[in-house]
Every structure is written in C-alpha cells, then in structure tokens.
C-alpha cells in the first residue's frame, strides 16, 4: 500500500482476531510487531459486542485512537459496528463503519472509502486467499466457520454474525498445508459455533480433523471454544486416540444452576454438561477442561450462585474465565 501506514486493532474472540488479521493481510504484506497506538494514516478498530462491557471497551478504544491520531482515517469494524452502526458513525472522528461480511466485501468497502479520501492504492495487490498468520511464529489460528444460531438471552452475536456458515473443508486443508509449509507446527481451529461445523455441507468437525491430520503434516491441533451440547462422543474418542490433538476442550458453562441456564436459554442442563466432561476425563489421557462462568445474571439467587461454586469445585477446571453480567 503505497505511502500509507496501516494498523488493525482487535478486541474480542479468536474469530474476531482472525478476521482483523485477514483484513490487515489484504493491505499490509509484512506483519506489524508494534501493539501501541502510533500516529498512523489508517486505523481499523475491529470491535466486540458480546456484552455491554465489550461495547463500552470498543467505544473507549475508538475514542483513544482518534484522540491520539486526530488526522487519521479511522475505520470501525466488527460486531459493535454491525450492531450499532449509527452509534459508531456518530463518534466524532470516525471516518468509516464496516459491518461484518465477507473479506471481499469489507476490502471493497474500505478500498472505496480510502480512494475517496485520495489515498494512493496503486500498489495494493489482490491477496485474496493469502495466508492469515495470526499467532506466534509456530502457532497459527485458522477460522473454520462463522455465525451462531443459539440465541442465548445475554448475547447478541447471532444478530451481528448471522447464521452459522462453514468454510469448505478443501479450503481449510489448503490453508493449513500452507501454514505447515511456512514453518507452523501448531494450529488452533476457531469458529463461533465450532461444534456444528459442516452441518450445511454434509460433513462435521471430526471428519475435518481427520483430513487435517491425514493430509497436512500439522504436528499439533488445538480446538477453541465449543458448546458442550455440540460435542459428540466421536470427537472425544478422536481426542483419546490421536496424540496430535491437544487433550483440552474449552466448554463455556456460564452457570451451575439449571434454573439460570434455562433463563439464559443455554441448550443443556448441568447434568448433561457434567457428562461430557466426565466422559472425556475417563478416556482422554491428561484431559483438561476450561470454562466461562457468569455471575450476577438477573434473578440469580444465593442458591444459584452456590450451584456455580459447586460446579467449580466438582469439575476442577484447569482455568475459569469468570465475568460479571453487564446489562444493556
């Protein structure tokens, strides 16, 4: 990109991080190493909107970038931009708002907006399909799907990400093979609803994993977050029998109380969640489960809170991301 200094700031989940890096890859051939808010020409702020607190942090980062770079072209993208486009556009200093969409759509919209501002895009080449090297030197993240149809009562991601959509398995295999060829030894697969990968394509996550293990030469595969109700026995059995798969599942529990789970519109009971963890512990050597747990959900009683504490004690998670409910 001739004469234009470009940076992407990303908040939120691994899928959002992948999307931000994919957009950056379209414009900047070499990765940035700085994470500071420098005086650059173009800042893309890839926002999160999973909670009201995430919205607040997104607005805070937007204003901080604008304050430190008053002359910059500031782009607001991601889930907050999709959920609240008028609110985002009304922040003084915001130049452009990009809703979630395909990479090609986002790139075209950004190129158009930059061209209107007179930026020289003569050296911008078509990098569609290039490697997205998010992560460390030997570990990369690979997005396998997007969208969610779970509609938990505290979350609006289904409204900002749309219905579940899976990337074609051939495309994923090619991306992972390319990463291996560039020296990556480990990948982390990510999606909003990873457990239902391939549902609309006539395939599933287990089949995808088998192809990656058989066809790419990758040494290690990790899975990001899955819903407990989307974890089939076949996946746990594959974890048990394949040493190249990390013996770990991140399974958001959110509450140990069946009453609160129902109010949250979570599609499982505590006993069903426990059964998944216990089965994995029985057959997967050195298995570790991690989780997310929310406190302060509207209507939560001392008994509900005690049920969550009990879950933490009984299930012995390797790590728990504990957060407070934030009202919109």
- Pick the residue with more confidence: 115 or 209? 209
Packed helices 270-283 and 233-241: angle between N→C axes, nearest 10 degrees:
20
Strands (E), the chain: 6-10, 42-47, 73-77, 94-97, 139-143, 145-146, 165-166, 186-190, 220-223, 248-250, 288-295, 319-324
Q: Is 66 left (phi over 0), alpha (psi -120 to 50) or beta?
A: alpha
Q: What is the pLDDT of residue 88?
A: 96
| CA angle, 106 then 110 then 113, to 5° | 145
Q: What does the buried/exposed string (b/e) look like for 227-244 if buried means 16 or more CB atoms within 10 Å of the residue's CB?
A: bbbbbeeebbebbbeeee
CA distance linking residue 147 with residue 158, whole number of Å? 6
- What is the arithmetic mean of pLDDT over 166-172? 97
- Pick the residue with more confidence: 202 or 127? 202
- The answer, yes or no, to whether residue 31 has pLDDT greater than 50, is no
Q: What is the pLDDT of residue 326?
A: 86
Range of the domain at 214: 135-224
Any domain includes 127: no
- 27 and 111, same domain (yes or no): yes
Q: What is the pLDDT of residue 101?
A: 79
Any domain includes 1: no
pLDDT above 90 covers a percentage of the chain that reads 68
Residue 302 burial (C-beta neighbours within 10 Å; 0-12, 13-18, 19+): exposed
What is the CB neighbour count within 10 angstroms for residue 312? 15
- 206 and 296, same domain (yes or no): no
Q: What is the pLDDT of residue 173?
A: 98
- What is the arithmetic mean of pLDDT over 232-244? 97
Question: Which CATH number do you get for residue 180?
Answer: 3.30.750.210
For residue 91, what are its two tokens? 């922040």
Question: Which CATH number do you get for residue 43?
Answer: 3.40.50.12160
Confidence of residue 239 (pLDDT cuts 50, 70, 90): very high
- Pick the residue with more confidence: 27 or 280? 280
Kindly report, residue by residue over 72-124, the tens digit of the pLDDT: 889 999 999 999 999 999 999 999 898 887 777 777 887 787 777 776 665 45
- What is the arithmetic mean of pLDDT over 15-20? 88
Query: What phi and psi, each to the nearest 5 degrees, are found at residue 143?
Result: -80, 125
CA distance linking residue 41 with residue 235, whole number of Å? 46
**Taking the CA of residue 24 as centre, how many other CA atoms within 13 Å lie in the half-sphere pointing to its CB?**
23
Any domain includes 201: yes
- 10 and 112, same domain (yes or no): yes
Q: What is the pLDDT of residue 37?
A: 55
- 76 bridge partner residues: 45, 97
Q: What is the pLDDT of residue 134?
A: 53
Q: Domain total for the chain?
A: 3
For residue 127, what are its two tokens? 């990098």
- What is the arithmetic mean of pLDDT over 292-296? 97
- 212 and 252, same domain (yes or no): no
- The answer, yes or no, to whether residue 4 has pLDDT greater than 60, is yes
Cα 281 from chain centroid (whole Å): 26
- 112 and 10, same domain (yes or no): yes
Any domain includes 34: yes
Q: What is the pLDDT of residue 64?
A: 95
Q: What is the pLDDT of residue 30?
A: 42
- The answer to whether the beta carbons of residues 143 and 179 sit under 8 Å apart is no
- 25 and 103, same domain (yes or no): yes
Block residue for tokens 């295999």: 173
Contacts of 175 (CB under 8 A, 6+ apart): 131, 132, 142
- What is the arithmetic mean of pLDDT over 23-51? 69
Task: Provide DSSP, 60-88.
Answer: HHHHHHHHH-TTSEEEEEHHHHHH-HHHH
- 96 and 14, same domain (yes or no): yes
Any domain includes 323: yes
| CA angle, 287 then 293 then 294, to 5° | 170
- The answer, yes or no, to whether residue 131 has pLDDT greater than 50, is yes
Structure-derived torsion over alpha carbons of residues 167, 168, 174, 180, reported in degrees to the nearest 10 = 50
38-47, 63-72, 281-290, 297-306: segment of lowest average pLDDT: 38-47
């Amino acid at each position: 990109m001739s004469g234009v200094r470009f940076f992407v700031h990303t908040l939120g989940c691994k899928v959002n991080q992948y999307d931000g890096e994919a957009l950056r890859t379209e414009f900047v051939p070499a990765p940035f190493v700085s994470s500071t808010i420098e005086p650059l020409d173009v800042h893309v702020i890839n926002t999160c909107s999973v909670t009201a607190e995430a919205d607040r942090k997104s607005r805070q980062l937007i204003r901080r970038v604008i304050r430190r770079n008053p002359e910059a072209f500031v782009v607001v993208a991601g889930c907050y931009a999709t959920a609240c486009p008028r609110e985002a556009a009304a922040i003084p200093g915001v130049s452009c708002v990009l809703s979630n969409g395909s990479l090609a759509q986002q790139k075209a919209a950004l190129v158009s907006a930059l061209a209107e501002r007179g930026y020289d895009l003569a050296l911008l080449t078509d990098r569609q399909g290039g490697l997205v090297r998010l992560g460390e030197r030997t570990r990369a993240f690979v997005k396998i799907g997007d969208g969610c149809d779970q509609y938990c009562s505290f979350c609006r991601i289904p409204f900002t990400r749309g219905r579940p959509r899976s990337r074609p398995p051939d495309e994923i295999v090619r991306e992972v093979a390319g990463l291996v060829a560039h020296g990556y030894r480990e990948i982390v697969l990510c999606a909003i609803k990873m457990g239902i990968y391939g549902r609309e394509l006539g395939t599933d996550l287990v089949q995808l994993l088998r192809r990656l293990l058989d066809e790419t030469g990758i040494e290690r595969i990790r899975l990001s977050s899955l819903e407990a109700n989307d974890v089939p026995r076949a996946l746990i059995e594959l974890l048990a029998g394949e040493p190249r798969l990390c013996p770990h599942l991140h399974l958001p529990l959110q509450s140990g109380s069946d009453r609160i789970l129902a109010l949250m519109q979570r599609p499982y009971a505590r006993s069903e969640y426990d059964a998944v963890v216990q089965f994995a512990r029985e057959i997967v050597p050195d298995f570790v489960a991690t989780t997310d747990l929310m406190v302060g959900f509207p209507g939560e009683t001392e008994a509900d809170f005690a049920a969550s504490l009990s879950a933490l004690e009984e299930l012995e998670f390797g790590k728990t991301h504990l957060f407070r409910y934030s009202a919109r």
